[in-house]
Amino acid sequence: MSEEMLINLVYVASAVMFIFGLKLLGSPDTARRGNFISAVGMLCAVIVTLIDQNIVEYQYIVGGIVAGGLIGALVARMVAMTSMPEMVALFNGFGGLASLLVGWAALAVAMLNASDAAPVPVFMLVTVFLSILIGGLTFTGSLLAYGKLSERISGKPFVYTGQRVVNSLILLAVIVCAGLFVVDPSNQNWLYLAVGLALLLGVSFVLPIGGADMPVVISLLNSFSGIAAASAGFAISNILLIVAGSLVGASGIILTNIMCKAMNRSLSNVLFSGFGAVTKSDGPVIEQGEVKPLTPEDAYYILEAAASVVIIPGYGMAVAQAQHIVKELQEMLEDNGCEVVYAIHPVAGRMPGHMNVLLAEADVPYDQLLEMDQINPRLETFDVAVVIGANDVVNPAAREVESSPIYGMPVINADKARTVFVLKRSMASGFAGIDNPLFFKENTRMIFGDAKETLNNLVKAFD
């Protein structure tokens, strides 16, 4: 078997591992195995690519692997689960930056080897430009998303008159630069200008998007990073990079579409509506009423008598880092003969699958995590619904108030349970900035305070 054939076989095997690993990521039971298989596939791909390219000196490559491994290990140990959305945003951004640099390096090499008789192919120029454009947009857009998610900058959308026109003009300018660069690649001023505009476009792209839409933005930027990687793969003629980038790009787009459906909104509405900038609508005011507070001690007596409990987690659970004490409460309820399940909304938290990750960390059994469509038909049969830090995803205004900005959005119908406990620090609105009439329902009781402390008190009561 020739060396070229062996290299191609490893490429095919790596691509199969990518696809198989991605398939396994579709279930919590097999996700860890899928991640491992994909990682092995990437390791094989990197090794065989280095062999294929006849690398003479490996010291810089080894240095990069060691440095990256150390940084990754430190980040994995130091970053709290509550900061996972921000870390994912950074990963997307650095993936885009890597594609930008790969495309740029490939262009530099091609320009050195070009001549009048053998100019740089137009196809390569186009793919290089795409990797630079999409990679730059992804990098700055992800940095801004990181800032909003970490609340280092305001999560509110920044909108101004003529914003779409400005964004369109920036994009048009990038396209013009692309055309001028392809016509005369020796004049790289157009390329430099395009890089600057791409970085600016990433910022202007994410600025008008509110914090409540960040889960969708993260999945979309993840898709962009994959598309940029695929473009870089075309630029350097690496089939495996094309395959990997295409898988990431396609899966990101599919996830983005799923999440938009979960909010009953179109992608264009998410990107351009400035959702969250206005928290009051022009329609009738949501009827509120009187809040009925409850102490953890009184809540214990209701839970102690309950035959079925559904726990609905949200970002507040992540902030309080209450997932482990939730698991303790679940076990005590089950020891008391109570059925306990978890209701997971597709956009609960600040990134896709945020609640699943937190509960998996606490070793909550996967079969007890029910999706919104599974739990909603059963909610009327539950004695108690415990809402921990969730707000917008349990807001009945999405069903009842036509003037609400989230009207029509599928939500978990927590108010249908016989009794609802809402664990919150205060009466403040959720990340979307919308009032929640659930708090004033007859069957709702508000338990104010830190969620972890409240749950600790409930666990102590069971002891």
Residues acting as catalytic residues:
392
263: burial class by Cβ within 10 Å (0-12, 13-18, 19+)?
buried
Cβ of 196: how many Cβ atoms within 10 Å? 13
Instruction: State both tokens at 302.
Output: 């209701």
Gyration radius from the chain CA atoms = 25
DSSP code of 58? -
26: burial class by Cβ within 10 Å (0-12, 13-18, 19+)?
exposed
Q: List the strands of the sheet with 419-424, edge to edge.
A: 369-371, 339-344, 308-313, 384-388, 419-424, 444-448
**In sequence order, what are the residues at sequence separation of 6 or more whose Cβ sits closer than 8 angstroms to the Cβ of residue 298?**
none
**What pairing do the DSSP bridges indicate for beta strands 384-388 and 369-371?**
unpaired
Give the burial string for 169-183 (b: 16+ CB within 10 Å, else e).
ebbeebeebbebbee
- How far is it, in rounded angstroms, from Cα 435 to Cα 405? 11
Instruction: Give how far Cα 405 sits from Cα of 154, 206, 344, Å.
Output: 20, 20, 22
- Sole residue written with tokens 């508000």: 446
- How far is it, in rounded angstroms, from Cα 88 to Cα 219? 9
- How far is it, in rounded angstroms, from Cα 254 to Cα 202? 21
**In sequence order, what are the residues at sequence separation of 6 or more whose Cβ sits closer than 8 angstroms to the Cβ of residue 101?**
135
Instruction: State both tokens at 322.
Output: 């209450």
Instruction: State both tokens at 66.
Output: 């060691």
The torsion angle over the Cα atoms of residues 180, 131, 88 and 140, rounded to 10 degrees, is -20
- How far is it, in rounded angstroms, from Cα 256 to Cα 107? 32
Instruction: State both tokens at 443.
Output: 């069957």
